Amino acid sequence: MTVNSPRAAQPRRGARVLVLGGTAEARELAGALDAAGVPVVSSLAGRVARPRLPVGEVRVGGFGGPQGLARWLAEHGVGAVLDATHPFAEQMSGSAAEACEAARVPLLRLERPGWSERDGDAWHWVDDLSAAAALVPQLGSRVLLTTGRQGLAAFAGVGGAWFLVRCVDPPSPPLPPRHRLVIDRGPYTLAGELALIDAHGIDLVVTKDSGGHHTEAKLDAARRRKRPVIVVRRPPGPSVPTVGEVGAALAWLRSTTQAG
């Protein structure tokens, strides 16, 4: 476990744990806590029409910024927060850091490790979606775009390429002028991703560095077909204690609860 910086506040034994979710790891965490008899409430943003729900109590929707979240923590007797949101959910993680600091509630960030390049990969790292869009014309003309429903406007000005846009729910305009939508959600398989590349003549893949196994088959498929990949770097997160695995998050919670 790599905990970046210790925090002074300790959770009260038996107090509720808030899991900020929207990821497979968050669902796993909630399941493990619920099974262990720990009172847990999972929070979802409410962006996805039919989300995969974790076991246990679930609340949906924003808190109203850091102040709203700090109020919510106090009103609901929360003793610890596990921020297991997606690595690109920058605002929610920042808000959790600020709210937990203000409310003196211990916070741990669970962030799955990012992907790393292997032999045979041709990855091009960029800082954001605009940089990814700017690079597209140099690398390909038939693009598998898997950066999610939000932020597709960045690609709306890329007229020269055709995009296969894959998202969980239909996106809102603006979208790239020449595109086809695929509404789908992982986990994806290597065979499925190879078939997609072949069927659509994909010559470039664009992805965020989401990490994890659910969506990594596209990277294996790109390597197999010798296709370049544009990878959007993760935004810098707030400086809070961070672990990379569910087991480490559970261990942190056990140890901080016992110490409290």
Q: How far is the CB of 123 from ligand NAP (least distance, A)?
A: 18
Q: Residue 154, interface with ligand NAP (CB under 6 A)? A: no
Torsion angle (degrees, nearest 10) of CA 226, 232, 238, 239: 40
d(CA 21, CA 54): 9
Selected binder of ligand NAP within 13, 35, 53, 62 (CB under 6 A): 62
Q: What is the per-residue binding string for ligand NAP in 158-197, x denoting contact by CB under 6 A? A: ----------------------------------------
Q: Cβ-count burial of 253 within 10 angstroms (0-12 exposed, 13-18 middle, 19+ buried)?
A: buried
Selected binder of ligand NAP within 33, 70, 80, 85 (CB under 6 A): 85
Selected binder of ligand NAP within 1, 12, 39, 90 (CB under 6 A): 90
Selected binder of ligand NAP within 16, 17, 22, 193 (CB under 6 A): 22
Selected binder of ligand NAP within 24, 29, 44, 217 (CB under 6 A): 44
Identify whether the C-beta of residue 129 lies closer than 8 Å to the C-beta of residue 147: yes
Q: Residue 88, interface with ligand NAP (CB under 6 A)? A: yes
* Choices 82-90, 123-131, 185-193, 217-225 (CB under 6 A): range interacting with ligand NAP: 82-90
Identify whether the C-beta of residue 135 lies closer than 8 Å to the C-beta of residue 220: no
Residue number, nearest CB to ligand NAP: 62
Cβ closest to ligand NAP, residue 131 vs residue 194: 131
Selected binder of ligand NAP within 3, 32, 34, 47 (CB under 6 A): 47
Q: How far is the CB of 87 from ligand NAP (least distance, A)?
A: 8
Identify whether the C-beta of residue 100 lies closer than 8 Å to the C-beta of residue 38: no
Identify whether the C-beta of residue 121 lies closer than 8 Å to the C-beta of residue 226: no
Q: Cβ-count burial of 61 within 10 angstroms (0-12 exposed, 13-18 middle, 19+ buried)?
A: exposed
Q: Residue 64, interface with ligand NAP (CB under 6 A)? A: yes
Q: Residue 249, interface with ligand NAP (CB under 6 A)? A: no
Positions in the binding site for ligand NAP (CB under 6 A): 20-23, 43-45, 47, 62-65, 68-69, 85-86, 88-92, 95, 148, 150, 208
